[in-house]
Every structure is written in C-alpha cells, then in structure tokens.
Structure 1
C-alpha cells in the first residue's frame, strides 16, 4: 500500500514538473515572437516574469515532494511521539497545527524570495519588511485560532461518529459557507483598510449597475492594496446582507470609469448567474468525495506507516494528500470556471459595453504583467479563467499579428469602430 502511494506521489510530481517545463519552454519561445496585447517592452518583461515565477514554482515542487517523503517516512510518527504526553483532544489540535507550522516554515524562504526579490525586481512589491512580518503573524494567529477550532471539531467528530467522514463533510461545508460570508469583514479587520468610495458620481453609476442585476450590497469600498502590491483587482465579497463591493485603489488609478464599470459588470454577471453558489457547490462536491475517500482508508496503511489510526493522524494524511487529489480534479473545475468567465464577460459587455471591457482586460494584462500566452496543457490544468486572447475573441475583437496566435496590442480598428456604432457612442 505504501509503495503504491509513493509511486502515485512520484507520478504526481513528475506530471507537475513536466507541465512546468513545457510552460517555461513555450513562454521562452513565445516571448521572441511578435508582441501580443502589449508593447514590446511590457511583453518581454511579462514573459521574463512568468518564466522566473514558474522556475520558482518548480523549486517549490521539489521541496513539497521532499516533505511528502519525509512526513510519510517517519515524520508523522516522530510528530506523534513528540506530542505523546498530551491529553487526546488538545494533542490533536497541537499536532495538526505543528504539522502546518513546520510546512509553513519550510516554505518561508521561497515566500520571502518571491515577495522581496522576484516581485520587487519586476516592480510589484510595495510591502515593507515590517508589514510582511505583521501580516505573517496575523495569519498565523488566525490559523491557530480558527484552524484550531476547525481541527477540534473534525477530530471530535472522528472520535465520536462511526460515519465520521459524512458528518465532517457537513461541518466543513458549513465552515466554507461561513468563511465566504465573513471574508470581507475579516480581511478589512486584520489586513486591508477599507474606506467608502468618495467619488459620488462613480458610486451612483455602480449603484445603478447593481440595481440592473438585483445585487444588494452593504456598500462600495476602496482597499488600500497599493501599500502591498501594484496589481489591479476588485471583488464582491460575502453572502446575503454581508455582500460588499471592494475596489483596489490601484484599479481606480489605472482604469477609466467606464472600464471599471465594465469590470464590475463582469463580476455582477457572476452574481446574476449564481456562480458563487455554483462554486461553493463544486467545492462541496470535491470535499465530499475527498472525505469519503479518506474516511475509508484501510487499517493496513497505518500499520505499514507505523502510526496509529488516530483523529490527528487522519487529518494530517488528509492535508498531506489533498493537493494530489485536488490536482486531478482541478481540470474539471477549470472547465466549469472558464465557461462561467465567458458568460460573465458577456454580461459585462451587455451591461456596460464590450469595448470598455476589452480595454479593461488589456490594461489588466499590462499592469499585472500577465503573459497572455500559455501552453495548452498548462491552461488545461491550472487556468480558472480563459486566456485573455480567447476572451477578447469571444467579445468580438479579431485576432491579428504576425506571430502564431498573436493579436495586435490594440484592439482591431474595424472591431472598435463596429462596437462604437453598436453602443451608440459615435455620432
């Protein structure tokens, strides 16, 4: 059994590494072709960043693989022995949190390198060392507090119920729904400073846009995200009465009002189609399947690993193998997610105008230095959003350029002219 697991784990990492190698080779070739959606300098810079980021991810894969082997080959047994003298409920919480903390510490050097070397080199990082330490300590505190409560709940269910995986699913699914409701509040409380949108005219336009789709929000807020990063983003957070619209201040700086409204129109499209609830349902289905699998692990596995079949060990094995299982489920989730993104783009185009959404997408690609081309295998496994070129094509903007799969850095003039006519902008 253990040998079979080792083979599965090795194949998992070989496949991931192969996909990354293909992606790096693809981008290195593509960045030498005619620029797509960006100017030459930005296109090359985005390509170099994508390659450097992927190589860092490959290093992370190697570390993750080593940690897999360490934990299975005596690591869990050692951790169990270290916690040996504690009472059962407290031991389960401490043991699982220690497992998470050790993995976090092992991955910390890569996280620091990504933030303060790689992102700084390409002009993204604005986080000071002090702010990074503060964010890290707050994150660890929340993991210990909230994670400890969740771990206690799951381990108590495992110890109490014969069909523990089913009751754990119900408990964890409730936690997922609650976190979706509380996310905006927690983020504003501990990380981002949110202030009401001061632009009265823009706020009125956003309110009018929300009324078209029946979206009821507790307010429109601006996040001071620029103190950490230069990337552009916006999100609709929460469920029910806790829903709110949050705009990054970087987004307000870079997008024109109509472009920003088109981005929000896209997000409102997700709301109108019930995508948030669909995503929660998909996550619930994945969680149900994974818990059903881990709830029926053979006793021989624990014997061969030399560890007891305790609630804490079961949770650690679940956390250890969750990335492997989810990796092979992600392509299905990606297909669903990419379909939803096309539909949301269509809604955003109808609500505000396809041209404005197309221009916003181009600016997002440029400002976030998102290389617009990827290997098909990489898209299949990792992309939750369609490639921007495909999204623009779906909006009606034609592909142009000298390179294979290339598009002009500006939307095709004929397409723009037709779109302006359709939207009644031109006289």
Structure 2
C-alpha cells in the first residue's frame, strides 16, 4: 500500500474495516486460489496435449472413428475428446467449483445438486463449444488456401450464439421468476426510460438456494431488455442499491460495451486460431498427424489457443476495466447517489469474498473489473464534485 495514492489508501482502510478480518482472510485465500487456478489451467492444457499426442491416442482414436472422412465422424471425434478431457479434469472442477466454495462459506448446495448442475451445463456446453472446432477443420479441408474468411465467419457466428445462449445457461443453473415488487419495478422502469432503453421487466434469480454470492445482469427479451438479479443481492442492498446496480448495467447497454468487447474478443480469437493453423501446418506428418486438415491435431490446437488466450487476456482485461469505469460514471450520473454506490460495493465485497485492492500485477493479469477500492474512490470524488455543483 505504500506506493498507492493516499486517498486510495484511505479508501482501502475504510473498506477493510467494513469487511472485518474474517471476510478479508477468506478474500485473501480466494485470491491465492484464483492465481493457482490460472496456473493450473495452463498446465492442464499442456498435460492433456501430452496425453493425447506423443502417446498416439489421438491418432488411434482418429483411425478407429475414421474421423477425417465425413463431418459427423469429425464431430464425433471432437465430442469424444472434449468429454474425456472434461472427465479427466473433474477433480480440478470439483476442487475449484465445489470445495473452494465450501471453504469460503458461499456454497449452499449439496455435492449431488452441484454435480447435477455440472452435468446439465456440460450437456449443452460441450456440443456448443465443439462446433467452432468442427467448422475450422471442415474449412481447413475444403479451402486449404482460403481458410481465413471462413475462420472469421465461424468466430462471428460462435460469439453471437454464445451471447444468445447466456440466459439459457443461467436458467439451467438457477430458478427464475418475475418479481412482484411494484415499487422496485417502477424505479427501474423510470431508470430505463431515462437511459432510453426499452424495459422488458424484472426477474429474480433464486440464487440463495445454491449460493450466497450476488450478481445482476441485463439480458435481451424480445424487443426490450430484461433485468435479472440475484435474490441475494436484493436482500443485501435494497431498492436503492438495486437501482444503482442496474444503472451500472445500463451504462454498458447504452455504451454498447458488449458489442465492443465481443469485437475485441473476436479479433483476438481469430488471431489465436490463425496462429494455431500455422502451428499445425508446421508439424507436417509428425507422428502420424496430417497437418491442419487432421482432427487428431485437436489437442495441439486447443493448447495453442489456451496459451495464446491466456496471454491475450491481459489486453481484454485492460479494455474491460476501462469500460467498467465508464459504466460506473454513467451510473453515478444517472442516480447521483455515490453513498449508495459505495454501500453496494461493500455488499458485493462481502458476498463475493473479494479484496478491496489486490496487488497491481494480479489486477492487470486476472481482473476484468477495476479494484473495488478504485471504484469507491471514484464515487467519493464524484460525490465531492457533485456537492460543489451549483444548486
């Protein structure tokens, strides 16, 4: 903290005092696990590639399925490899997804309930995530010299489908229902009208059955935009806090941040897959492989994309933090309640077990939001400027 701005240091001390030592200790532990999970993820992708390729398993499975002959055999190979990888990674999934949440005190599910949620998510997630790889191999075979335009099309379609499926994934995990709260609904209707965004209602996610964490989002619904918010957050911050939270999400909507972020992610994905193509091409016929047209190279393609993606994530996070700051400013201008903003930040810190200010290098590498302390400092500075404005 010694190298930080004195105002920021004061905010950090205030937030730490509000959280208490028990919550801070859990937040420190979660941060250590976040770093561990990042490093383990990189190592796991390498280990899986080594299991499939030097052992000859990928080539043997390709030959057994005749996976390079027709599209549905290629897809079968991709699905089978992805499923086997998911099973091999299950112990890590259990530790970081279930055991860690128990340790933090945020989990309210039994192991059986958590496992069933994972099965449901995999049943939809594995086929969806396999489709871009299927498309890539088909394009590499059909247009070996003109594959780039096909790659661009695949990434655009995949990101669009993935965005549209987010509400489906959310409702697969949590129950949702329309919230019968006329006062809160009217608050949000007014807020949406002020922002110039069509309001499509308010739904509450029954997250408290499974977790103590809080969150909120805006999702497309017909020609309008629907608010979905965790019941845990409503209970913690009340109507004013919900209004401030949704004002932040409206900032993203008005600024078209999702389109901006998806465009950046799309460009970086295209770059990563493009590098992957040249990596596969450089292999030639090594160890029974046949270059980019051969689906048996899938583990190496996944490794390349995973490692490049981790490196490029720094750029995505930096851009995302800028957009989050802009959304915070939008919310403060809309509501003009910096004290409520700070109260919501404290509630989210407490619910989600985050530190007010992680080390700068960790924030740059792993965080797509500015640190809570920096956001609260901005709110306090806004409050001072607001009080100095002429009435």
Any gaps of 5 or more consecutive residues in structure 1?
1-30, 398-414
Contact 1:36 1:372 (8 Å CA) reproduced: no
Alignment of 1:1-400 (within 5 A): 35=16, 38-55=19-36, 58-74=39-55, 75-84=57-66, 87-147=69-129, 149-162=131-144, 163-188=146-171, 190-238=172-220, 241=223, 243-297=225-279, 299-309=281-291, 310-313=293-296, 315-352=298-335, 353-396=337-380
Q: Secondary structure at the match of 1:73?
A: coil
Find the aligned partners of 1:257 and 1:67 in 2 and give their Cα distance: 48
Query: Which residue in 2 is equivalent to 1:26?
Result: none
Contact 1:60 1:107 (8 Å CA) reproduced: no
- Aligned-pair distance for 1:215? 1.6
Find the aligned partners of 2:199 and 2:135 in 1 and give their Cα distance: 32
- Aligned-pair distance for 1:344? 0.6
Aligned residue pair count: 376
CA RMSD of aligned residues (A): 3.1
- Aligned-pair distance for 1:50? 2.7
- Aligned-pair distance for 1:342? 0.8
Contact 1:223 1:246 (8 Å CA) reproduced: yes
The superposition leaves residues 49-96 of structure 1 with CA deviations (integer Å, 9 ceiling, x where unpaired) of 333454455555544432233334234334324434785322211211
Find the aligned partners of 1:296 and 1:52 in 2 and give their Cα distance: 34
- Aligned-pair distance for 1:421? 5.1
- Aligned-pair distance for 1:315? 4.6
Contact 1:181 1:239 (8 Å CA) reproduced: no
Find the aligned partners of 2:277 and 2:67 in 1 and give their Cα distance: 26
Contact 2:28 2:355 (8 Å CA) reproduced: yes
Find the aligned partners of 1:314 and 1:87 in 2 and give their Cα distance: 15
Q: TM-score, normalised by structure 2?
A: 0.85
The superposition leaves residues 347-368 of structure 1 with CA deviations (integer Å, 9 ceiling, x where unpaired) of 1111112221121111111121
Q: TM-score, normalised by structure 1?
A: 0.79
Instruction: Give runs of ≥4 in structure 1 deviating > 6 Å.
Output: none
Contact 2:136 2:151 (8 Å CA) reproduced: yes
